[in-house]
């Protein structure tokens, strides 16, 4: 077994690998960019090496710097995690040429599956069913448009390299094909350095089901059952579970046999995932699934498979890479219970899942158990006080629950998400909790279009409960500590000879000011007036969680404060408030004539010039953030007055990019 391993990754997966290595007595080396100098994975590792500045091309994609770090520290092997260099066969060759072990499949297997078009041709030859489509080398846009017509709309444009939903576009109208192809190719080039795309028939009501496989160097290849990853937004997974809802023994046998055949056909070694698209319009069928791609690495969602099998997949990776045989046969493996994982991101579901940034001023999860089997598991790559930057994937953590059956696991996941508290950045926490309560999700009727169909409901802004501004007002006035009874003067707190003591505070919530009057009634009792609403509440205890009574109900809440923000956690939601000082004004004035960056990013493409006439909805600027493209459109008909950026500019959140002439111009 290895004595020291370098992890060529960051964040949650780096921390995950370090945890297993430490349990096995293996020393670890972390690598980091300048932006990650104090990151969690750096503090957890035994040693850490700087490999470059913040941009991934100059740090986490710098294979030579990573190999040099391994040689310098005496590491014997490199674990790639997922993303970055994990599926780069050139990196594997370089690692092995340096005399190091790559903890993953051979370069030949990665090459075989690295380009989706070639992989599909290979799978057809191996007898694995594939989705109808065009997987050829000719990338002439007119040829691709003709192929799309021949396949029949709707079609899916997919980058042949990479994954994660990048370089993928659904096209339902032939007129939209050229622009969608250009955008997909540009995003594929930015993400994977390869603009080539393939065209596939879009399966209506598709389900995304994948099979976990493992292979050792002794010739044993096994499957570790399937996962359902159908709950996706923008072709990226949100919630995954194992086993797949509605899976039958005959379909499982057919799908896992196809997955093992796929792995054996390329001489696979280590952990891998064979992904299938299945017809979700009715019950799963033995002839109703098709090969989509193979991920030649550990998957983000591997914890749900660990939970139902009781195995540590990182340990298995290390042992297989060290030449050990798999310690079990297929007959030894069985499914125990059901597991579900939610990906917690810094992103704004209300605004089309735009990535968010900010410092995590408050981050608290419910108590979790050890990884693998346990009711609740949290795999986090950040901690309280860390910064979510625009440089990398905005994942905060993965929340995994495991229970005897699917209903219990889903209910536990919802409870765990409701009890998670985050302040300092916009997150998808409330969206995930709403998704666990969606009736079709609860019934197991999932497909890849579910979130898009019901996004308005799932991402709806929760109503502001009157207790939230009331508690925020008390926090602003430092009044959240209930009386202990130890001080005999507590009973007279707030008493005045002529009336109750009163305090006043103004709070901004999402751009709306709340002028609140607080009446001190003594002994932890207050009456808070907010316009026409009056809320009476009594503070009962404050031991991390605040217990209070209002309207005859006793409830719990949480409050997190910074110098300029008060966040109230109530009813499974978070509500942010900003104190408004009497002598100043808060907020920003936004002109309807200005098109501003909704997040930090790179100006990838400009679709307009000064003086151009535009119609409402016309694309103006393509902004790239976290390797995804976001198209900013004209808010109204008009003429372009100014274009304030050029392609290639790096801009911050709120930067004005384009300005329209005034409507009276």
- The catalytic residue positions are 297
How many Cβ atoms are within 10 Å of 532's Cβ, its own excluded? 5
How many Cβ atoms are within 10 Å of 231's Cβ, its own excluded? 24
Contacts of the segment 604-609: beta carbons below 8 A, 24+ positions apart: 604/186, 604/190, 604/629, 604/647, 605/186, 605/647, 606/643, 606/645, 606/646, 606/647, 608/640, 608/643, 608/658, 609/640, 609/643
Cβ 539 vs Cβ 520: under 8 Å: no
DSSP 166-195: TTEEEE-SGGGHHHHHHHHHHHHHHHHS--
**Helices and strands (DSSP H and E) totals, the chain:** 17, 39
Q: How far apart are CA 320 and CA 8, in angstroms?
A: 18
Cα end-to-end span (Å), the chain: 74
Strand partners, 170: 156
Rg (C-alpha) for the chain, rounded Å, is 27
Of 231, 615, 653, 301, give the one whose Cα is nearest residue 450: 231
Instruction: Determine the distance from the C-alpha atom of residue 532 to the mean position of all C-alpha atoms in its chain, rounded to a whole number.
Output: 40
- For the chain, give the number of residues: 665
Q: How far apart are CA 41 and CA 14, in angstroms?
A: 6
- Residue 180, classified by CB atoms within 10 Å of its CB into exposed (0-12), middle (13-18) or buried (19+), is buried
As a three-state string, the secondary structure of 367-409 is CCCCCCCCCEEEEECCCCCCEECCCCCCEEEEEEEEECCHHHH
Q: How far apart are CA 430 and CA 574, in angstroms?
A: 8
Q: How far apart are CA 412 and CA 423, in angstroms?
A: 22
Q: How far apart are CA 2 and CA 31, in angstroms?
A: 18
**Helix or strand holding residue 338 (H, E):** strand 338-345
């Amino acid at each position: 077994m290895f004595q020291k391993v370098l992890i060529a990754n960051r964040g949650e997966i780096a921390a995950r690998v370090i945890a297993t290595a430490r349990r096995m007595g293996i020393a670890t080396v972390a690598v980091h960019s300048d932006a990650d100098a104090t990151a969690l994975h750096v503090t957890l590792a035994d040693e850490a090496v700087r490999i470059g500045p913040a941009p991934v091309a100059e740090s986490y994609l710098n294979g030579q710097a990573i190999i040099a770090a391994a040689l310098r520290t005496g590491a014997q092997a490199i674990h790639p995690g997922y993303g970055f260099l994990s599926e780069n066969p050139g990196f594997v060759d370089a690692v092995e040429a340096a005399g190091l072990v790559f903890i993953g499949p051979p370069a030949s297997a990665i090459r075989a599956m690295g380009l989706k078009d070639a992989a599909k041709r290979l799978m057809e030859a191996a007898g694995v069913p594939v989705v109808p489509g065009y997987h050829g080398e000719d990338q002439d846009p007119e040829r691709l448009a003709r192929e799309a017509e021949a396949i029949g709309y709707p079609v899916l444009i997919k980058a042949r390299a990479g994954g994660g939903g990048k370089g993928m576009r659904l096209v339902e109208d032939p007129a939209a094909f050229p622009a969608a192809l250009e955008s997909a190719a540009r995003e594929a080039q930015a993400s994977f350095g390869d603009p080539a795309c393939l065209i596939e028939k879009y399966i209506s009501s598709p389900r995304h089901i994948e099979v976990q496989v493992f292979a050792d160097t002794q010739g044993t290849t096994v499957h570790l059952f399937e996962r359902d990853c159908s709950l996706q937004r923008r072709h990226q997974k949100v919630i995954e579970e194992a086993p797949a809802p509605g899976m039958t023994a005959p379909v499982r046998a057919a799908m896992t046999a196809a997955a093992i055949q796929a792995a054996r056909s390329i001489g696979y070694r280590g952990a891998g995932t064979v992904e299938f698209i299945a017809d979700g319009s009715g019950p799963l069928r033995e002839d109703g699934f098709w090969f989509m791609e193979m991920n030649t690495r550990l998957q983000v969602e591997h914890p749900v498979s660990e939970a139902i099998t009781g195995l540590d997949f990182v340990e298995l990776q290390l042992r297989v890479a060290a030449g050990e045989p798999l310690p079990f046969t297929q007959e030894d493996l069985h499914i125990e219970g059901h597991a579900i994982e939610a990906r917690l991101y810094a992103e704004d579901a209300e605004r089309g899942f735009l990535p968010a940034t900010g410092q995590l001023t408050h981050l608290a999860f419910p108590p979790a158990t050890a990884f693998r089997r346990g009711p609740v598991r949290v795999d986090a790559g950040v901690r309280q006080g860390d910064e979510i930057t625009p440089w990398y994937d905005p994942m905060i953590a993965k929340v995994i629950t495991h229970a005897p059956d699917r209903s219990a696991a889903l209910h536990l996941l919802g409870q765990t998400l409701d009890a998670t508290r985050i302040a300092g950045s916009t997150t998808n926490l409330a969206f995930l909790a709403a998704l666990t309560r969606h009736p079709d999700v609860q019934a197991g009727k999932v497909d890849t279009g579910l979130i898009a169909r019901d996004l308005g409901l799932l991402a709806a802004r929760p109503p502001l409960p009157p207790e939230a501004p009331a508690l925020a007002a008390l926090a602003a006035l430092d009044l959240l500590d209930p009386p202990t009874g130890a001080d005999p003067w507590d009973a007279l707190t707030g008493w005045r000879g002529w009336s109750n003591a009163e305090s006043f505070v103004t709070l901004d919530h999402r751009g709306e000011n709340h002028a609140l009057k607080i009446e001190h009634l003594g002994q932890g009792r207050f009456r808070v007036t907010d316009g026409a609403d009056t809320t009476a509440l009594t503070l009962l205890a404050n031991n991390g969680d605040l217990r209070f009574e209002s309207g005859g109900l006793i409830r719990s809440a949480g409050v997190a404060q910074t110098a300029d923000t008060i966040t109230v956690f109530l009813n499974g939601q978070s509500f942010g408030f900003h104190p408004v000082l009497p002598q100043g004004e808060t907020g920003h004035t936004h002109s309807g004539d200005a098109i501003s960056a909704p997040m930090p990013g790179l100006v990838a493409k400009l679709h307009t010039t000064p003086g151009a006439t535009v119609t409402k909805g016309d694309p103006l600027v393509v902004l790239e953030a976290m390797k995804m493209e976001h198209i900013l459109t004209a808010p109204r008909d008009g003429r372009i007055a100014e274009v304030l950026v050029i392609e290639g500019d790096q801009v911050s959140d709120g930067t004005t990019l384009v300005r329209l002439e005034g409507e009276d111009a």
